[in-house]
Structure 1
Amino acid sequence: MTFDARDPEALGRFWAELLGYRPDPPPEGFDTWDAALDAFGVPPERRDSAFAVSDPDGAGPRLFLQKVPEPKTEKNRVHLDVNVAAGLARDERRVRVAEHVQRALRLGATHVREVDEPLGYAVVMLDPEGNEFCLQ
């Protein structure tokens, strides 16, 4: 999954912390990303152009964040649903989601609204760059 971003590393670190992901390690044969980028001929002024994070268990999708010059201007057509309360009863689900909302807020997210419908409960949030996501 690819995100456009103003600051790929900062946004990637937000998502890594929220999802329990880790930044992707440098390619095999390199101790650091700087060493790899030196070998690949990437100039220092372009080294902030991308960042990637992955699920250490390999179950979730890899997130690739790429730098773009323009800001986000409209609602996302696709967003992540972060399922933090799978299998819990309705009241327990609300408590678990509320805990994760507070954690997301501490990481820099913004609360938008609650969605409480017969088929489910979720809280709509914005990541630090304004991309919508739901905690459910």
Structure 2
Amino acid sequence: MVYAVSFVFDCQDVDRMATFWLAALEGYDLPGSDPDGPPGAPPAGFATWEDWADANGIPEHLRYQSRTIIDTTGTRPDIFFMAVPEDKVVKNRVHLDIRASRGLSPEEGRARQDAEAKRLVDAGATVVRRVHQDDGGSHLVLQDVEGNEFCIT
């Protein structure tokens, strides 16, 4: 049997996390989002997601428990954000890599990684450090809006 895989982030602000990762990962969107709008746009016919939740009778206390972002091509795992009360206190043991420089020379790769890091810093990420590799390449370690580490390779 083959199982589908989803990634799950425990977090405190599911909207903030989903918005960040929608910006970070091109080709992901919220289920039900207006396909003609930008990623995360409310469903067609609704000005906001709150309007949609009101129209669908979703109680306010349930609206911020979780979010899922899905790959619009259906080839990559869903990413699920689940609200938890506790803060992140240690380094995460699993992280995502954004592969931005595959197939490029070390110099071109660093330039591509830097450009991607700038874009993600503008979306709320923090650059932690650059890690140099034995083959002359490198990757960047960043943190998302709630401090979860991820890499740009």
Q: Is 2:89 the counterpart of 1:73?
A: yes
Q: Secondary structure at the match of 2:87?
A: coil
1:25 aligns with 2:32: yes
- Cα deviation, residue 58, structure 1: 2.0
Moved over 6 A (4+): none
In the alignment, is the contact (CA less than 8 A) between 1:8 and 1:66 conserved in 2? yes
- 1:43 pairs with 2:51: no
Q: Name the structure 2 match of 1:91.
A: 107
Check if 1:126 corresponds to 2:148: no
**Is residue 115 from structure 1 mapped to residue 121 from structure 2 by the alignment?**
no
The answer (yes or no) to whether the contact 1:13–1:23 under 8 Å persists in 2 is no
Contact 1:111 1:123 in 2 (8 A): yes
Tell me the TM-score normalised to structure 2 length: 0.78
Match of 1:12 in 2: 18
| Count, aligned residues | 130
Q: 1:61 aligns with which of 57, 64, 77?
A: 77
> Structure 1 or 2: larger helix share?
1
3-state SS of paired residue (1:25): coil
When the two structures are superposed, what TM-score results if normalisation uses the length of structure 1?
Answer: 0.87
Alpha-carbon RMSD across the aligned residues, in angstroms, is 1.9
Equivalents in 1 of 2:55, 2:63: separation in Å? 11
In the alignment, is the contact (CA less than 8 A) between 1:94 and 1:121 conserved in 2?
yes
1:105 pairs with 121, 126, 138, which one? 121
Give deviations 1:82-129, integer Å, cap 9, x for gaps. 101111111111110000010010000001000011244110000000
Q: Secondary structure at the match of 1:73?
A: coil
Q: Where do 5+ consecutive residues of structure 1 fail to align? A: none
Structure 2: gaps (5+ residues): 1-6, 34-42
The amino acid across from 2:19 in the alignment is R
2:23 counterpart letter in structure 1? E
Cα contact 1:24–1:52 (8 A) shared by 2: yes
User: Structure 1 vs Structure 2: percent identity of aligned residues?
Assistant: 36
